[in-house]
Amino acid sequence: MEKQNRNRAGNAAQHRAGPAKALRSRSGPRATSPRRADAASPAPAVPGGAAATDDTFITALELEAAPLNPAMAAYFEKCREKLGFVPNVLRSYAFDMAKLEAFAAMYNDLMLAPSGLSKLEREMIAVAVSSHNRCYYCLVAHGAAVRQLSGDPVLGELMAMNYRAAKLSRRQRAMLDFAAKLTAEPWQVEEADREKLRKARFSDRDIWDIAAVAAFFNMTNRVASATDMRPNSFYHAQARTQ
Amino acid sequence: MEKQNRNRAGNAAQHRAGPAKALRSRSGPRATSPRRADAASPAPAVPGGAAATDDTFITALELEAAPLNPAMAAYFEKCREKLGFVPNVLRSYAFDMAKLEAFAAMYNDLMLAPSGLSKLEREMIAVAVSSHNRCYYCLVAHGAAVRQLSGDPVLGELMAMNYRAAKLSRRQRAMLDFAAKLTAEPWQVEEADREKLRKARFSDRDIWDIAAVAAFFNMTNRVASATDMRPNSFYHAQARTQ
Amino acid sequence: MEKQNRNRAGNAAQHRAGPAKALRSRSGPRATSPRRADAASPAPAVPGGAAATDDTFITALELEAAPLNPAMAAYFEKCREKLGFVPNVLRSYAFDMAKLEAFAAMYNDLMLAPSGLSKLEREMIAVAVSSHNRCYYCLVAHGAAVRQLSGDPVLGELMAMNYRAAKLSRRQRAMLDFAAKLTAEPWQVEEADREKLRKARFSDRDIWDIAAVAAFFNMTNRVASATDMRPNSFYHAQARTQ
Amino acid sequence: MEKQNRNRAGNAAQHRAGPAKALRSRSGPRATSPRRADAASPAPAVPGGAAATDDTFITALELEAAPLNPAMAAYFEKCREKLGFVPNVLRSYAFDMAKLEAFAAMYNDLMLAPSGLSKLEREMIAVAVSSHNRCYYCLVAHGAAVRQLSGDPVLGELMAMNYRAAKLSRRQRAMLDFAAKLTAEPWQVEEADREKLRKARFSDRDIWDIAAVAAFFNMTNRVASATDMRPNSFYHAQARTQ
Amino acid sequence: MEKQNRNRAGNAAQHRAGPAKALRSRSGPRATSPRRADAASPAPAVPGGAAATDDTFITALELEAAPLNPAMAAYFEKCREKLGFVPNVLRSYAFDMAKLEAFAAMYNDLMLAPSGLSKLEREMIAVAVSSHNRCYYCLVAHGAAVRQLSGDPVLGELMAMNYRAAKLSRRQRAMLDFAAKLTAEPWQVEEADREKLRKARFSDRDIWDIAAVAAFFNMTNRVASATDMRPNSFYHAQARTQ
Amino acid sequence: MEKQNRNRAGNAAQHRAGPAKALRSRSGPRATSPRRADAASPAPAVPGGAAATDDTFITALELEAAPLNPAMAAYFEKCREKLGFVPNVLRSYAFDMAKLEAFAAMYNDLMLAPSGLSKLEREMIAVAVSSHNRCYYCLVAHGAAVRQLSGDPVLGELMAMNYRAAKLSRRQRAMLDFAAKLTAEPWQVEEADREKLRKARFSDRDIWDIAAVAAFFNMTNRVASATDMRPNSFYHAQARTQ
């Protein structure tokens, strides 16, 4: 049994009410997992959205969802209200409340707290880093965020494919060049690199934030790749038109 | 004057009727090119599609479009009928009829002629190779083709982001692994690699076709990157839903 | 003034009692920073330990330490009791209590909470990852931890220099090979890699922990490199003999 | 039978007259292929040149040569007149006339049509690109072309081994640096790279040609490596003395 | 028997007096080699130093020590007098007097003969190169030499971990940048690189010496890695305090 | 004056008889060095061989040749007798007799002393390593040696271009794969790599020799690249026909 079930979570009702056991529900062996069939025979679209078919598989690891504590239950509820769903990355951490809370706290501080970087700029860093690391989960989820925040469906594609092809301000280009170098060759980052950011009018606090966001996605890209984390299917069609 | 105009072409009417001179029309200096403004202030969507605003810039090179010869005029017309537009890669070659004809002949043979590989499989190779090379033009144009041919909007994303994350048949995985190795380290490809394809039931003729398609996109990725080729904006929203 | 002071913190008394202003104290221009003089004329050893001379410089960024909130003041105090000093990474985050708390929560959960991996194994992953990324801060601080936890001064060197040269159990070698691949080429990690860990008797929960620790140090290596973070000098001589 | 014969073609008479079947003639199993024996026991030199022994093996793929159509028969005949032999790359494509014609058309346009680049310069690009990709076929065939066109046997060696060691004009060095970057990291090529070519007095049309030649050999290097294509033995001794 | 014994040498008395046979003494199969047990159960420290337990294993190759000729016997004796032990690299070459003498002659000339580079600078190059190549033997032995010669225990760590994090003079930084580029990408080294050294006031003879030392450690790193050479345990604790 | 002369040596008579001063003779500024003119206007071939024009430039460093001591004078004389010239690598070391003697001793022992590897096999390693490092000097000089020793002009090209394309015995392929890995990623070489050599029937002593030769050319490739060492022109046409 253990080897045939993977990290997954049930529907919202289960999340809110159920004990840990209720959260394990994928049936059948790996070989017939819905994921594996994707390319060959995509599941038919169902009323109410693709999420119904695609989102039952979250990671390749068998980790039983723990009961949500009140803070995290409220957080998940807030996700459902604002987004219509709970991002799979949160569900992947839900086997352990301490880990989930630590991840959520760091994520929310980095991406949403006041900063000299706009939310869009932080998402642009997220996607450019994830592009270097070729992280499917993060490219899908944060590519959608760039499209959404910018109202520019092309900008999300440019960040995901090659940010160097985008026509950016000098400031944003300097920001992404720093993030890209920090991702690819952190051992080569030196004072000259920080000076380039300062010349593009970033403060030292901004430099911290650029570094911290780029570094964070170097972490989360690797958690996602290590566990074969799958994005909510909702993201794919999100904000595709201006 | 010469340095201020880039490779571009006018509307369909101009293509059909006009002399070469009429095809040069971008006004103003580089610094105010429409491309550069994309991220900061995306052009407003217009009735009839994004193509109207985005497609006036094709490459970074000043190459005056030559008059289309009858065969190429007919080919462009056929593109308009079938696709609704002429792919920018063809317009980028239109400064020289011999080059345009050679490119079109090779492209059409490789991607459309009978083969043991389906058209979708050939497009999957195109996108996986372009992903390695991070070619914006080819990822946009051929990512759309994978979505279109497969009816699976997610498959296009998987090919563009990291084909290793896709759930593929053994045959298709072997095909893409060969194409990826041939792209990244052609000097390491040996008999053992060909044997893996044969074991996945590819014939020697199929191996040629896998190699030829992967090799062709290693060429066209580089022409696109060298010239900053821009995809028709039409592609972005194409086939995004099942 | 702003450009001449770098991220730093005063002594313990200041941390406990003082307002933010009191925490900024490095005087003089960059060119005469104590760091720059290290190689040429190392500061004379003083009774009571190297920390006295070396630890006034923490990062290359000018970030004013914020007043510690009660929880973080208690945490710093606990560090002083247990270690004799506050690790510089914590002081580098101390310009913002939300960031400091999020970092501390994630760090402590990953490295100290119950896990199928021993604390030593988690530190071995930390150092092997930091070796790939050539992160000076993390190699010094966590190399010392490996020496300390293992009682084996050579093991810390092996992890920092090339874990492949260490004579490890099959389990530990598999663990570090996974962490190294996840660090170098996260896009190549697949089910076969997870299966190797399962064959080495790691549970799926253990795999999460290996991935999460390796991923975390890929983050913190980059924060350290981006900011030129300097380790407390105390670490250098720690646990050098059996 | 199929697995024991490889892509090959008979002598000129067969090419001109014979049906497809006649073109398949390699006997014996792979293990005793003449190629495999090369290093251990090189075939004895025969009067009239090495081509007689070496050129019966063309690629590792079993692809039956198709009857040459009149245009291609004339083309092969012209090769024999001018070169004394048909280059193996053409024979490797001869299983399909559409592919052979498309390849020949593109090759001849790129390498022989009027251009701001001399034929020697185009061959220098070919060899520098093939050196990066370590393509045996192309290094042998186009290295000979550089020797032949330049009358400088050393220049061919320099292009094949490391063009950076050659003493070149600023123009030629800029041309090869662009080609090398486009080969190794096409995703990094940007306006600044094109500007370097313009400063070395290349026109935008010249830039297209540099890009197109470099891109073409990135294609043909990969077709050759994927199929283990073997150069005509004639090339080895060609133009070795001034 | 042959496969169970590895390159090793007995104690000093054996070296001085014994015939070749006497020098082969490791007993027991590979699986229980003392090396393999290091991490799991470090040998207890013994009075007189770690060398007693750790230094019986030198390389992974079975090479019988040859009788030392008078010159080499004198050299080994001198090592014992000055260092307290014979460096394992010398013992690893002691299976053949011609090889040992050639190695010792080149090593001593490069590292000890008069040069515009100080002995410390030559050791800094040795460690920076060995860090790129992640050579355990050389990092341990020459890291100790940097600590010893500089009287700065931190400098040895910086060279071994990432020389770019060290605060160096412009001269020393230029020297190490040249050595690092020559190590990582020798094919890219050109006149411009030599000019940088000349601008940092190195003479052409100094450039030779920088190149020769960097090149030598690129050799010896590979001999050590190829043979799993193990450093004398003495080095680990050497010069750890100022 | 010093900056305008490069490492060079006069004719044999000067070597034998002359003081150091007599050996410095290149006149004129760098910009008009004979090397720089090579590609543009190759010197006319002269009766008696290309060496007469090409061999006056040896390296880019100004190092005055020292008087040859008797042993080295005899060695140079022997070179002239056997080869017809003194290899430039020896002349490049001739500014210092200790360095020249150490280099010659190590080279001769490695390449000419009795070994389980044939002289041809040692030269094959030399060229395969030099190909990875793209060392012009070593590819020219040792490529010629492979052609000479094997009597197979193609084998030299294969080693220089891509040894993987050569049809080799299992033994020789294993030998070159080990040398190539040791060159590219010495930190990854482990017991499993040595076992592959043992399975190909190499003794531990043979493994030492493979490692030592590969390592030596990793040294000498870098001395050559660092100094822009130029091969004697004699090599280019040597042994080009069977």
DSSP string, E123-174: HHHHHHHHHHTT-HHHHHHHHHHHHHHHS-HHHHHHHHH-GGGS---HHHHH
Flag whether pLDDT at F35 surpasses 60.
no
Of the pLDDT bands very low, low, confident and very high (cuts 50, 70, 90), residue E6 is: low
Contact of B134 with chain C, judged by CB distance below 8 Å, is answered with no
pTM for the model = 0.87
pLDDT in tens, C78-130: 999 999 999 999 999 999 999 999 999 999 999 999 999 999 999 999 999 99
Comparing C-alpha atoms, which of A131, F66, C70, F77 is closest to residue B134?
A131
Q: How many D/F residue pairs have CB atoms within 8 Å?
A: 109
The whole-angstrom separation of Cα B85 and Cα B71 is 17
**pLDDT score at B7:** 54
Tokens of A67: 């009961």
Percent of chain A whose pLDDT exceeds 70: 77
pLDDT at position A241 is 86
Q: Is the pLDDT of residue A48 over 90?
A: no
CA distance D122 to chain F (A): 15
Cα angle A54, A60, A66 (rounded to 5 degrees) comes to 90
**pLDDT 10s digits, E145-200:** 999 999 999 999 999 999 999 999 999 999 999 999 999 999 999 999 999 999 99
Is it the case that residue D41 has pLDDT exceeding 90? no
What is the band of C7 on the pLDDT scale with cuts at 50, 70, 90? low
* Mean pLDDT over each residue of chain A, to the nearest integer: 83
Cα A220 to Cα D10: distance, rounded to the nearest angstrom: 58
F190 and C164: CB-CB below 8 Å? yes
Nearest Cα residue in chain F from C162 = F187
Please give the residue of chain F at the shortest CA–CA distance from C165. F190
Q: Give the pLDDT confidence score for residue C55 in this predicted structure.
A: 58
The dihedral region occupied by E151, where left means phi > 0, alpha psi between -120 and 50, and beta the remainder, is left
SS3 B241: coil
Answer whether residue D119 shows pLDDT above 70.
yes
Contact criterion met (CB below 8 Å) for E206 and E115: yes
Q: In A33-152, which residue ranges form alpha helices assigned H by DSSP?
A: 34-37, 51-54, 70-83, 88-93, 97-112, 119-132, 136-150
Q: How confident is the model at residue F104 (pLDDT cuts 50, 70, 90)?
A: very high
User: Which residue of B108, B133, B204 is the best one to mutate when testing the D interface, meaning the one whose CB has the most D CBs within 10 A?
Assistant: B204
Say which residues have a Cβ less than 8 Å from residue E160's Cβ, sequence separation at least 6. C160, C161, E127, E130, E131, E139, E143
Token pair of E111 as six digits: 């590292």
Give yes or no for a contact between A79 and A86, defined as CB atoms under 8 angstroms apart: yes
For the ranges D41-45, D132-136, D223-227, E203-207, the lowest mean pLDDT is seen at D41-45
What integer pLDDT is reported at residue D57 of this predicted model? 87
Q: Is B188 helix (H, G, I), strand (E, B) or coil?
A: helix
Amino acid, single-letter form, for residue C195: E
Please report all neighbours of B, defined by 3+ CB atom pairs within 8 A. A, C, D, F
Which chains lie within 8 Å of chain E at 3 or more CB pairs, if any? A, C, D, F
Mutate to test the interface with B, among F164, F173, F177 (most CBs of B within 10 A): F164
Sign for the CA dihedral angle at B104, B107, B112, B116 comes to: positive
C242 pLDDT band, cuts 50/70/90, is: confident
From CA A137, how far away is CA C8, in angstroms rounded? 37
* Average pLDDT score over residue span C175-192: 98
Average pLDDT over residues C204-222: 98
Cα separation of E212 and E196, whole Å?
A: 17
Q: Which residue has the higher pLDDT, D91 or C32?
A: D91
State yes or no: pLDDT of E84 exceeds 60. yes
Distance between CA atoms of C216 and F16, rounded to whole angstroms?
66
Residue F163 gets which letter from DSSP? G
Q: Output the average pLDDT for chain D.
A: 83
Instruction: Please report which confidence band the pLDDT of residue C238 belongs to, taking 50, 70 and 90 as the band edges.
Output: very high
pLDDT tens-digit series, residues B142-199: 999 999 999 999 999 999 999 999 999 999 999 999 999 999 999 999 999 999 999 9
Percent residues over pLDDT 90 in chain A: 75
**Which among D33, D39, D169 has CB closest to F166?**
D39
pLDDT reading at B14 higher than 90 = no
> Which chain A residues have a beta carbon less than 8 Å from that of E162?
187
With 70 as the cut, is the pLDDT of residue C23 above it?
A: no
> Residue C114 class from Cβ within 10 Å (0-12 exposed, 13-18 middle, 19+ buried)?
exposed
Classify residue A38 by burial, with Cβ atoms within 10 Å: 0-12, 13-18, 19+. buried
- Overall residue count recorded for chain F in this entry: 242
Cβ neighbours of C211 in A, within 8 Å:
222-223, 226-227
Q: Which residues of A touch B165 (CB under 8 A)?
A: 136, 228
DSSP E67-134: PPPHHHHHHHHHHHHHHSS--HHHHHHTT-HHHHHHHHHHHHHHHHS--SS-HHHHHHHHHHHHHHTT
C-alpha F165/C-alpha F112 separation (Å) is 27
Residue E71 structure tokens: 């010159």
Which residues of chain A neighbour C227 with C-beta distances below 8 Å? Answer: 207-208, 211
| The pLDDT value given to residue D241 | 86
F135 part of contact set with chain D, CB < 8 Å? yes
Contact E154, C42 (CB under 8 A): yes
Q: In this model, does residue E17 exceed pLDDT 70?
A: no
Q: How many residues does chain E have?
A: 242
Q: Distance (Å, rounded) from C-alpha E86 to C-alpha E92?
A: 10
D136 and F CB contact within 8 Å: yes
Residues in B touching F164 (Cβ below 8 Å): 187-188, 190
pLDDT per position as a tens digit, C34-86:
333 333 333 333 333 333 344 578 999 999 999 999 999 999 999 999 999 99
Task: Report pLDDT for D100.
Answer: 98
Lowest-pLDDT choice from A138-142, D44-48, D79-83, E50-54 = D44-48
Pair of tokens at residue D11 = 């002598």
Instruction: Report which DSSP code applies to F65.
Output: P
Q: How far apart are the first and last CA of chain F?
A: 47
| Cβ contact C90:C180 at 8 Å | no
When the pLDDT of each residue in chain F is averaged and rounded to a whole number, the result is: 83
The arithmetic mean of pLDDT across residues A120-133, rounded, is 98
Q: How far is the C-alpha of E87 from the C-alpha of E109, rounded, in Å?
A: 17
Question: With 80 as the cut, is the pLDDT of residue A20 above it?
Answer: no
Q: How far is B85 from chain A (nearest CA, A)?
A: 19
Question: pLDDT class for B31, splitting at 50, 70, 90?
Answer: very low
How many CB atoms within 10 Å of residue F197?
Answer: 21
- B51-110 tens-digit pLDDT: 334 457 899 999 999 999 999 999 999 999 999 999 999 999 999 999 999 999 999 999
Among D89, D107, D223, pick the best mutation site for testing chain B contact (most B Cβ within 10 A). D223
C-alpha dihedral, A108 to A113 to A118 to A121, nearest 10°: -30
Give the mean model confidence (pLDDT) for residues E122-127: 98
Rounded mean pLDDT, D158-186: 98
| Burial label, A17 (beta-carbon count in 10 A; 0-12, 13-18, 19+) | exposed
Residue A1 contacts by C-beta under 8 Å, 6 or more apart in sequence?
Answer: none
Which uninterrupted H or E stretch holds D204? helix D204-227
F and A interact (at least 3 Cβ pairs within 8 A): no
Interface test with C, best of E58, E134, E135, E183 (most C CBs within 10 A): E134
Q: Which two tokens stand for residue A215?
A: 């570094």
Q: With an 8 Å Cβ cutoff, is A162 touching chain D?
A: yes
CA distance B52 to E14: 88
Burial class (CB in 10 A: 0-12, 13-18, 19+), A44: exposed
Q: How many CA atoms lie within 13 A of E160 on its CB side?
A: 27
What pLDDT does C65 receive? 94
Backbone angles phi, psi at D117, to 5 degrees: -95, 135
Q: Residue F41: is its pLDDT beyond 70?
A: no
Separation CA B60–CA B7 (nearest Å): 6
- Residue A171: what pLDDT? 98
pLDDT of the residue at B242: 75
pLDDT > 70 in chain F, percent: 77
Per-residue burial over A76-108, b = 16 or more CB atoms within 10 Å of its CB, e = otherwise = beebeeeeebbbbbbbbbbbbebbbbbbbbbbe
Segment F121-126 long-range contacts (CB within 8 Å, at least 24 positions apart): F121/F172, F121/F175, F122/F209, F122/F213, F123/F149, F124/F155, F124/F159, F124/F163, F124/F172, F124/F175, F124/F176, F125/F175, F125/F176, F125/F179, F125/F210, F125/F213, F125/F214, F125/F217, F126/F213, F126/F217
- What tokens does B198 get? 């044969």
**Secondary structure class of B110 (helix, strand, coil):** helix
For D152, phi then psi, to 5°, come to -125, 100
Out of C147-161, E46-60, F88-102, F140-154, least confident range: E46-60
The pLDDT value given to residue B8: 44
- Within 59-98 of B, beta carbons closer than 8 Å to C belong to none
Q: What is the pLDDT confidence band of residue A242, given thresholds at 50, 70 and 90?
A: confident
Confidence at residue F241, expressed as pLDDT on a 0 to 100 scale:
86
Residue-level pLDDT at C57? 87
Q: Would you state the structure tokens that stand for residue C232, as one six-digit string?
A: 């407390």
Query: Which positions in chain A touch E159 (Cβ < 8 Å)?
Result: none
State the Cα–Cα distance between residues C75 and C78, nearest whole angstrom. 5
| pLDDT at residue A41 greater than cutoff 60 | no
Lowest average pLDDT, out of A51-55, A79-83, A167-171, E22-26, goes to E22-26
* Cβ atoms within 10 Å, residue C144: 24
pLDDT of residue E72: 98
Residue B197 CA to its chain's centroid (Å): 26
